[in-house]
Amino acid sequence: MKQLFDDVSYACSKLTTKAYSTSFSLGIRFLGKKLHDPIYAIYGFVRFADEIVDTFHDYNKKELLEEFRNETRMAIERKISINPILNSFQFVVNNYGITEDLIKRFFESMESDLNVTEHSRASYEQYILGSAEVVGLMCLRVFTESNDELYNELKPAAMKLGSAFQKVNFLRDINADYKILGRTYFPGVNFDRFSSREKEQIQDDIENDFVQALTGIKKLPPNARRGVYLAYYYYRKLFLKIKKIPAENVMQVRIRIPDYKKLSLMFQSVLRHQFDML
């Protein structure tokens, strides 16, 4: 029975999301129920590609990423895949109108992680576009449910939200990215001499992304708004915590919010949303 296989596919995407990200899992739980499976499918797809370039150090990453890219294309064309993650993703692509250019840009950014260790301003902006902003647009296709007018209106804000999330991740993961993976995402920054001024400039850029993103969150359909706001609220709090860490200490620790505090933030965000305090 094909439906059983599809159900298993979505279950695999959900399991992947819950295993890799408690924060996004919490956010998805507060979306409207019909949005759960499609967003799990998008996250599972993105997570698998990211794992290839970030953790499969004992294998041929380039070959694996190219195989995954080809399998994604075939899954979308055939409208089925024996890879459950791709099977659930292709369904979302085909049913919510996720365009080929978004997927192409995503893979371009993943591929750059295999051979680019330092970014110029131009390559940094292209990387953010492909690794984060297009993911925001994939999710927006689901949230707006074929309403092209609303999608186009909220598109800039969705891109800014994805951008803010990614840049916060970069700040949080500076130590691992630089010392373990040998990557420097922020252009023109020497992390051997990371200064307070450089950190403040990065933070100002992220703050601007957050401000523009919130304007779009307020206009999302009700069944999407609460879950997206929860993810925004969590990342905003993480960002504020990072801002308090001196530049010289950011390289020494991976800043995170404990799970018990995530639950507290969840309730705070729900209350703010309930009383229209966004």
What range does the domain containing 112 cover?
Answer: 2-274
Q: Into how many domains does the chain fold?
A: 1
| pLDDT confidence of residue 260 | 45
Dihedral angle of Cα 14, 132, 22, 240, to the nearest 10 degrees:
-160
Alpha helices in 33-99 (DSSP H): 33-55, 61-78, 84-96
Please tell me the distance from the alpha carbon of residue 186 to that of residue 191, in angstroms, as a whole number: 10
The mean pLDDT values, 10 residues at a time, for the chain of 278 residues are: 93 95 84 96 97 95 98 98 98 97 98 92 96 97 94 97 95 80 86 87 96 96 92 90 86 62 54 52
CATH assignment at residue 264: 1.10.600.10
Residue 145, classed as helix, strand or coil, is: coil
Q: Which amino acid makes up residue 185? A: Y
Chain position carrying tokens 């404990």: 258
pTM: 0.91
| pLDDT confidence of residue 20 | 92
Please tell me the distance from the alpha carbon of residue 38 to that of residue 44, in angstroms, as a whole number: 10
Please tell me the distance from the alpha carbon of residue 9 to that of residue 75, in angstroms, as a whole number: 13
